[in-house]
Amino acid sequence: MALAGLGLVLAALSARAQSLPGDFVFLRDIDPTIIQDIRYAGPNNFMGRPLAGYGAAECVVKRQVGLRLKAVQQELLRQKLSLKMLDCYRPARAVADMVAWSKNGTETPAERRYNPAFSKTDLFRLGYIADRSQHSTGGALDLTLVDLAADNSARFDPTKDYADCTAPAAARAPEGSVDMGTGYDCSDAKGHTAAATITPAQRRWRTLLVTAMSKQGFVNYSKEWWHFSLPGVGTQAYDFPITTRRN
The tens digit of pLDDT for each residue in 84-143 reads 999 999 999 999 999 999 999 999 999 999 999 999 989 888 888 888 899 999 999 999
Provide the phi-psi class of 48: left if phi over 0, else alpha when psi is between -120 and 50, else beta. Answer: left
| Whole-number average pLDDT of the chain | 91
- Cβ burial of 234 (10 Å; 0-12, 13-18, 19+) is middle
Q: State the pLDDT at residue 18.
A: 60
Q: What digits encode the pLDDT tens for the residues 165-187?
A: 999 999 999 999 999 999 999 99
DSSP secondary structure string for all residues of 151-214: -------TTS-PBPTTS-TTTBPP-SS---SS-TT--SGGGSTT-TTS-HHHHHHHHHHHHHHH
Task: Name the residue with higher pLDDT: 15 or 39.
Answer: 39
List of domains in the chain: 19-229 (3.30.1380.10)
What value does the mean pLDDT take over residues 152-162?
94
Q: Are 180 and 205 in contact (CB under 8 A)?
A: yes
The pTM assigned to this predicted structure is 0.91
